[in-house]
């Protein structure tokens, strides 16, 4: 296997370069009013190396070009270097959440009527800070990232400040899927969370001027149980300059790759099932076939896959691109999938043909992707196995799928255009100036960063 440096990619430097390119290209065609935005986020949106962080980071990056952004964010892991966020935001405040306490609150939440998710992301300090800001500051708009942060926007409703929720995905559907594939003792718990979350998500539609979701499929899911929702679809994007075909040789023997956070339940479930039940059958057809599972924090069940012939679990790597560049195909065998899978977009951007489940394919509906032209999608294990086998045996088909997918990707998944749409939604939500709060101050001269101790 090609040696790859473990040094992480300088995402700050890359983000600055991308921002400069977009500014030179003229991201926004129409002048718009400069807004003061409060952005609430459930995890520090940096580094942008996993799904929720990628979208939140790009939203902040786009909005900060024309507006003043004050970021309040929880942190349920080590607080990273905040330089990139400090350069974009007028102020950054981080509120650490200890995971042990968060899990305990979620467990005790079984005995309440609230979703367990809200208990996990509960922070008295953040709540107090939101109440303080609602009393003393004036914001034109509150932007809430993920439904778990909606409670922290409530103090601003009393001041007449409009709010927009980027729900991203309908999380209740994800928990319903968990209840099908989780270990038996946890299935009733996940089913309960799915029901509670759906009721909670339905209750949010009257609290926000607009609700934004990442795919049309998610928008339809929300409207199925909350038809009055003022919902809009804003797809994700992919950096086609960063994730581009590299001048590296493909592996000399058939190689399949998967990239992702390998302690995330959906990824663990999908890859354990694929590696143990489907991959051995594929190896009977292609005896030298290899499977690369690339991603940080592999769960014990994932690490155990290293024992299988042809399976390589890498753990964290500094850069996933060389692994993608070597692969003959990218497989996304996820039985649990909500929204768009950024890992799939990144593989397509690097000209790696994709084989995925129909659940993954559903998240690509906005892109105009077609089965058989841009990728191969399957609704069963046998279909997934057969699709991979046909692709591994046909170099021309691999090249054709990869070429068409990247072309289609460039039309629908550019951050600049999609974030322009997001900004339009936010500006449209500001129908009147926020009610001035008592004792308004602008915080000029104060530190841009505040990290609260847990």
Number of domains in the chain: 2
Q: How far is CA 310 from CA 210, 245, 269, in A?
A: 48, 25, 19
Looking up tokens 């900004």 gives 423
118 and 100 in a single domain? The answer is yes
CB atoms < 10 A from the CB of 66, how many?
Answer: 15
The answer, yes or no, to whether residue 327 has pLDDT greater than 50, is yes
How many Cα atoms within 13 Å fall on the side-chain side of residue 229?
26
Task: Tell me whether residue 320 is in a domain.
Answer: yes
Task: Tell me whether residue 12 is in a domain.
Answer: no
Average pLDDT on 195-217 reads 97
Task: Tell me whether residue 24 is in a domain.
Answer: no
Lowest-confidence segment of 283-297, 329-343, 426-440 by average pLDDT: 426-440
397 and 420 in a single domain? The answer is no
Residue 60 to residue 71: CA distance in whole angstroms: 9
443 — pLDDT class (breaks 50, 70, 90): very low
Q: What is the CATH number of the domain that holds 336?
A: 3.40.50.2000
138 and 152 in a single domain? The answer is yes
Which pLDDT score, from 0 to 100, does residue 51 have? 84
283 — pLDDT class (breaks 50, 70, 90): very high
274 and 381 in a single domain? The answer is yes
Residue 207 to residue 19: CA distance in whole angstroms: 33
Q: Name the residue with higher pLDDT: 76 or 357.
A: 357
183 and 277 in a single domain? The answer is no
Q: Name the residue with higher pLDDT: 220 or 17.
A: 220
Residue-wise pLDDT tens digits, 155-187 = 999 999 999 999 999 999 999 999 999 999 999
224 and 305 in a single domain? The answer is no
Task: Tell me whether residue 423 is in a domain.
Answer: yes
170 and 292 in a single domain? The answer is no
Residue 343 to residue 261: CA distance in whole angstroms: 10
Task: Tell me whether residue 38 is in a domain.
Answer: yes
Inter-residue contact 159 to 38 (CB < 8 Å): no
Which pLDDT score, from 0 to 100, does residue 450 have? 55
207 and 328 in a single domain? The answer is no
The answer, yes or no, to whether residue 423 has pLDDT greater than 50, is yes
Share of the chain above pLDDT 70, in %: 88
Q: Where are the alpha helices (DSSP H) in 246-341?
A: 265-273, 279-285, 300-303, 321-326
Q: Mention every residue, 6+ apart, whose C-beta is less than 8 A from residue 116.
A: 106, 107, 109, 110, 189, 193, 196
Residue-wise pLDDT tens digits, 84-111 = 999 999 999 999 999 899 999 999 999 9
> Cα 187–358–258 angle (5° rounding)?
85
Which pLDDT score, from 0 to 100, does residue 32 have? 63
Task: Tell me whether residue 7 is in a domain.
Answer: no
The answer, yes or no, to whether residue 364 has pLDDT greater than 80, is yes
Lowest-confidence segment of 8-17, 25-34, 350-359 by average pLDDT: 8-17
123 and 218 in a single domain? The answer is yes
408 and 418 in a single domain? The answer is no
Average pLDDT on 217-230 reads 96
Q: How far is CA 327 from CA 2, 153, 295, 382, in A?
A: 12, 45, 15, 22
Q: Where are the alpha helices (DSSP H) in 109-161?
A: 116-120, 124-136, 154-157
Residue 319 to residue 195: CA distance in whole angstroms: 39
Which pLDDT score, from 0 to 100, does residue 235 have? 94
What's the whole-model pTM score?
0.87
363 and 265 in a single domain? The answer is yes
451 — pLDDT class (breaks 50, 70, 90): low
405 and 442 in a single domain? The answer is no
The answer, yes or no, to whether residue 437 has pLDDT greater than 50, is no
The answer, yes or no, to whether residue 9 has pLDDT greater than 90, is no
CB atoms < 10 A from the CB of 78, how many?
Answer: 7
Phi, psi (rounded to 5 degrees) for 444: -70, 140
Task: Tell me whether residue 8 is in a domain.
Answer: no
Task: Tell me whether residue 438 is in a domain.
Answer: yes
Please give the mean pLDDT across all residues of the chain.
90
Q: How far is CA 16 from CA 9, 21, 62, 364, in A?
A: 13, 9, 12, 28
Q: What is the domain range of residue 185? A: 33-237+414-451
Q: Of the residues 396, 412, 428, which one is the last residue of a structural domain?
A: 412
352 — pLDDT class (breaks 50, 70, 90): very high
Average pLDDT on 296-325 reads 97
278 — pLDDT class (breaks 50, 70, 90): very high
The answer, yes or no, to whether residue 433 has pLDDT greater than 70, is no
């Amino acid at each position: 296997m090609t040696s790859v440096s473990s040094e992480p990619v300088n995402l700050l430097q890359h983000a600055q370069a991308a921002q400069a390119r977009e500014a030179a290209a003229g991201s926004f065609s129409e002048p718009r009013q400069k807004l003061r935005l409060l952005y609430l986020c459930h995890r520090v949106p940096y580094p942008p190396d996993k799904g929720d962080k990628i979208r939140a980071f790009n939203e902040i990056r786009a909005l900060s070009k024309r507006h003043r952004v004050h970021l309040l964010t929880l942190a349920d892991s080590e607080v990273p270097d905040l330089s990139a966020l400090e350069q974009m935001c007028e102020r950054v405040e981080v509120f650490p959440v200890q995971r042990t306490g968060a899990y305990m609150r979620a467990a005790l939440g079984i005995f309440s009527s609230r979703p367990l998710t809200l208990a996990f992301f509960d922070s008295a300090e953040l709540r107090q800070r939101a109440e303080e800001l609602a009393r003393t500051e004036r914001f034109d708009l509150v932007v809430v990232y993920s439904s778990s942060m909606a409670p922290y926007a409530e103090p601003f409703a009393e001041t007449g400040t409009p709010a927009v929720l980027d729900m991203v995905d309908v999380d209740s559907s994800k928990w319903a899927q968990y209840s099908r594939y989780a270990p038996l003792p946890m299935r009733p718990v996940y089913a309960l969370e799915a029901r509670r979350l759906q009721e909670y998500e339905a209750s949010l539609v009257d609290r926000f001027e607009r609700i934004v979701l990442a795919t049309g499929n998610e928008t339809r899911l929300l409207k199925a149980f909350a038809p009055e929702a003022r919902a809009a679809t804003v797809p994700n994007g992919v950096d086609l300059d960063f994730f581009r075909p590299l001048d590296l040789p493909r592996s000399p023997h058939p190689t399949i790759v998967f990239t992702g956070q390998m302690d995330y339940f959906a990824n663990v479930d999908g890859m354990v099932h694929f590696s143990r039940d489907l991959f051995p059958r594929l190896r009977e057809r292609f005896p030298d076939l290899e499977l690369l599972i690339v991603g940080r924090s592999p769960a014990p069940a994932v690490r155990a896959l290293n024992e299988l012939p042809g399976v390589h679990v890498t753990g964290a790597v500094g850069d996933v691109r060389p692994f993608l560049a070597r692969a003959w195909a990218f497989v996304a065998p996820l039985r649990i999938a909500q929204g768009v899978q950024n890992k799939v977009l990144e593989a397509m951007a690097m000209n790696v043909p994709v084989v995925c489940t129909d659940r993954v394919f559903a998240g690509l509906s906005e892109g105009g992707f077609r089965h058989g032209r841009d990728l191969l999608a399957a609704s069963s294990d046998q279909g997934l196995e057969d699709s991979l086998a046909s692709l591994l045996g046909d170099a021309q088909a691999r090249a054709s799928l990869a070429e068409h997918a990247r072309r289609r990707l460039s039309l629908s998944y550019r951050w600049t255009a999609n974030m322009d749409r997001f900004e339009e939604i936010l500006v449209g939500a500001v129908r009147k100036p926020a009610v001035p709060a008592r004792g308004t101050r602008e915080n000029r001269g104060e530190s841009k960063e505040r990290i609260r101790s847990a």
